[in-house]
């Protein structure tokens, strides 16, 4: 026992000696953080900025209490380490065989920020504890708190509490009020998650959590906390920044890194990190060029930003890697990434999911629905009467699945949805990648429920990838200033969302959109490269979409006002289509042209163009694709010598009206206003 006691004393002495000898040297690198594309080319270099150092005497007590009560209630009584928190975190980490939970005090967070990389290893945790003890032995508690408040990152480019007060509230730190202090304290944990500009509801929630912590600590009364929680956020308008189309992409990449490592938010902007991405710089440049060139002319809106705005996102369907992203026009001061955060009705682009459900339910491309007047029970006891767009609300003829998707026929789409059930459509859409809220109503298939451009592009991936879905991702690797890799989530694995045959047949249908349908004016731009896609236009032309793909690239383009309102000539084929087509042509120029291989569960059968049955000797013949076992077996009874008819008729969208048929020119002189049909 005596020897054991002396051994413990010796170990403590050695540890104390090592901590005493530990140099307090910062590791902030003079070099910038550099973001690379998938071939090692530089996408962006990031330098630190926006820091306003303050003394602790300048920080109001309410601000100090907010930070301490939210981050480390025992700050003034502990020696840099909270044993209970460390023990709890250690048990979690040991069970997982890796570092998951930190149990960090303010001094520990300062040690991480000033001296260490964010690698989650047991060795790094030991270093963190050593530096924490060194800080506690060297500096007073007020000095540690002052250093922490000046070092921590608050988001939106603000380093330290002084810059944060100026950035979010336009005032010096001395003038910060209780609700403002609670919000700033709440931002420390995850500034991207609680950004009051992008996520105001989350910001209110975290402010409430901090206020509750202050009440529990006795810093404020329950009445004061309730009054502060009832106040508006009160943030000032974001400061204008020098923006560009690429700034949205860079913010997205940084957000993905800090989502995996929230404690990396400040240090990554101080410099020295290398971030390797899935982006292709050539494609990104093509996206920036074509977005700027082919977007409709803009007019300054109420917020001072040119409208209409837009977004583009391109994905490699084989890997799920994001290849290019545009989140807006790049107006100064604009930080809202529409490719990721704009939730808008997708219009007729949603019909791809409807017809994937139709084909997977055993129906074929030659099956027909009568485009004629029909009504269904509507909301609040009303009646829902879908119509096509234009002066002719119904074609009053049978329309095949291929024709219906090519001309974007609304009435036929609703009839198919009623036949197979909107629940079935939702099931297929979910499998393909749609994650936004959906309701099992018939207008679902006309694009009644909002999605984001990134989400929509991702959901088209299975169609381009033989039925396999792959979640989008962007970060290949992150290397810290000391050369050590920062652990990141592995690339997503593919999963079979559709059978290869269903994906092939729906792709064949979507090729008809470009060859004969609402997107046919775009096909010549692609120089003969096989492609498939779908136009989308929402009610009163408030949103214009084109989502399409080749074997190697899936791209979604959205155009619309940030505050939805009708656009002039606002068809998907006219506003979003040219951006999509020119980008696809430029992005894939010089690459091998390939077509989708016909899978084993698909057969090609010559059928009669009159009725889709096997041809008789007089039948006009067209080849069609079928899932094996669903091809017709009966012979057409129709005697005919006519050529196969071309698709005719007007499309229409209740939610997405003017997918005009035949398609209008890309640059029409004007479009006459049309009467809108109520949804229900």
Residues that are catalytic? 71, 348
CA geometry: angle 371, 372, 375, nearest 5 deg: 115
Pairing of strands 274-277, 33-36: parallel
- Judge whether 541 and 560 are in contact, CB under 8 Å: no
Strand locations in 217-364 (E)? 274-277, 299-300, 306-307, 309-315, 322-326
Within 8 A by CB and 6+ apart from 186, the residues are 70, 194, 203, 206, 207, 209, 210
SS3 state at 92:
helix
Between the alpha carbon of residue 468 and those of residues 122, 320, 348, 551, the distances in Å are 38, 10, 23, 13
* Phi, psi at 218, each rounded to 5°: 80, 10
Structure tokens at 172: 């010096």
How far apart CA 72 and CA 603 sit, in angstroms, is 67
What is the number of helices (H) and of strands (E) in the chain?
21, 20
User: Which residues touch 405 (CB under 8 Å, ≥6 apart)?
Assistant: 351, 352, 355, 509, 510, 512, 513, 517, 534
- Tell me if residue 586 falls in helix, strand or coil: helix
- 3-state SS string for 603-629: EEEEEECCCCCECCCCCCEEEEEEECC
What dihedral do alpha carbons 473, 477, 480, 483 form, nearest 10°? Answer: 180
Separation in Å, CA 467 to CA 182, 471, 596: 48, 13, 12
CA dist 258 to 106, 150, 189, Å?
19, 20, 11
Q: How many CB atoms lie within 10 A of CB 525?
A: 18
CA distances 669 to 473, 540, 665, 666, Å, are 41, 18, 9, 10
**Contacts of residue 542, Cβ cutoff 8 Å, sequence gap at least 6:** 345, 560, 561, 564, 565, 566, 567, 570
Residues 6+ apart with CB under 8 A from 324: 249, 279, 280, 283, 284, 286, 287, 312, 313, 314, 583, 587
Residues 459 and 434: beta-carbon distance below 8 Å: yes
């Amino acid at each position: 026992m005596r020897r054991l006691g002396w051994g413990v004393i010796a170990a403590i002495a050695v540890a104390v000696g090592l901590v005493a000898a530990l140099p307090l040297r910062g590791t902030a690198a003079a070099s910038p953080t550099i973001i690379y594309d998938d071939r090692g080319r530089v996408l962006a270099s990031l330098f630190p900025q926006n820091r306003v150092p303050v003394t602790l005497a300048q920080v109001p007590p309410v601000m100090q209490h907010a930070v301490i009560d939210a981050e480390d209630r025992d700050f003034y009584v502990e020696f840099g380490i909270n044993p209970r928190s460390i023990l709890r975190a250690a048990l979690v980490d040991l069970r997982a065989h890796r570092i998951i939970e930190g149990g960090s005090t303010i001094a520990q967070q300062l040690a991480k920020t000033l001296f260490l990389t964010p690698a989650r290893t047991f060795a790094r945790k030991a270093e963190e504890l050593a530096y924490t003890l060194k800080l506690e032995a060297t500096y007073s508690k007020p000095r540690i708190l002052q250093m922490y408040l000046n070092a921590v990152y608050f988001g939106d480019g603000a380093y330290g509490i002084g810059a944060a007060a100026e950035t979010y509230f336009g005032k010096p730190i001395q003038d910060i009020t209780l609700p403002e202090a609670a919000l700033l304290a709440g931002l420390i944990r995850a500034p991207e998650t609680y950004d009051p500009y992008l996520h105001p509801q989350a910001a209110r929630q975290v402010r409430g959590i901090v206020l509750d912590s202050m009440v529990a600590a006795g810093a404020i009364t329950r009445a004061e906390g309730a009054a502060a929680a009832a106040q508006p956020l009160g943030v000032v308008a974001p400061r204008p920044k020098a923006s560009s189309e690429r700034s949205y992409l860079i913010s997205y990449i940084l957000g993905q890194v800090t989502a995996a490592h929230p404690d990396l938010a400040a240090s990554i902007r101080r410099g020295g990190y290398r971030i390797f991405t899935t982006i292709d710089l050539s494609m990104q440049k093509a996206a920036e060029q074509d977005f700027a060139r082919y977007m409709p002319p803009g007019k300054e809106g109420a917020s001072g930003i040119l409208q209409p705005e837009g977004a583009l996102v391109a994905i490699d369907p084989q890997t799920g890697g994001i290849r290019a992203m545009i989140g807006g026009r790049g107006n100064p001061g604009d930080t809202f990434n529409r490719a990721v955060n704009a939730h808008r009705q997708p219009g007729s682009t949603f019909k791809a999911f409807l017809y994937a459900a139709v084909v997977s339910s055993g129906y074929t491309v030659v099956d027909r629905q009568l485009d004629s007047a029909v009504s269904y029970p509507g909301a609040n006891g009303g009646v829902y009467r879908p119509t096509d767009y234009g002066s002719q609300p119904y074609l009053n003829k049978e329309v095949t699945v291929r024709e219906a998707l090519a001309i974007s026929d609304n009435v036929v789409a609703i009839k198919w949805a009623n036949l197979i059930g909107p629940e079935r459509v939702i099931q297929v859409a979910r499998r393909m990648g749609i994650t936004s809220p959906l309701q099992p109503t018939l207008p679902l298939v006309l694009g009644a429920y909002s999605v984001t451009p990134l989400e929509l592009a991702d959901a088209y991936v299975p169609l381009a990838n033989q039925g396999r879905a792959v979640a989008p991702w962007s970060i290949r690797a992150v290397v810290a200033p000391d050369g050590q890799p920062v652990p990141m989530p592995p690339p997503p694995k593919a999963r079979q969302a559709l059978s290869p045959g269903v994906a092939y047949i729906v792709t064949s249908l979507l090729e008809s959109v470009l060859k004969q349908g609402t997107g046919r004016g775009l096909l010549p731009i692609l120089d003969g490269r096989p492609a498939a896609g779908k136009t989308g236009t929402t009610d009163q032309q408030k949103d214009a979409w084109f989502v399409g793909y080749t074997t190697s690239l899936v791209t979604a383009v959205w155009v619309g006002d940030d505050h939805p309102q009708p656009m002039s000539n606002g068809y998907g084929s006219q506003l979003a289509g040219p951006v999509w087509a020119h980008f696809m042509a430029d992005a894939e120029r010089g690459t091998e042209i390939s077509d989708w291989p016909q899978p084993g569960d698909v057969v090609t059968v010559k059928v009669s163009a009159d009725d889709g049955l096997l041809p008789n000797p007089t039948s006009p013949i067209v080849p069609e694709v079928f899932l094996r076992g669903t091809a017709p077996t009966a012979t057409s009874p129709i005697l005919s010598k006519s050529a196969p008819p071309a698709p005719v008729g007007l499309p229409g969208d209740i939610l997405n009206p003017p997918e005009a048929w035949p398609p209008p020119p890309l640059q029409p002189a004007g479009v006459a206003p049309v009467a809108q049909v109520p949804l229900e």
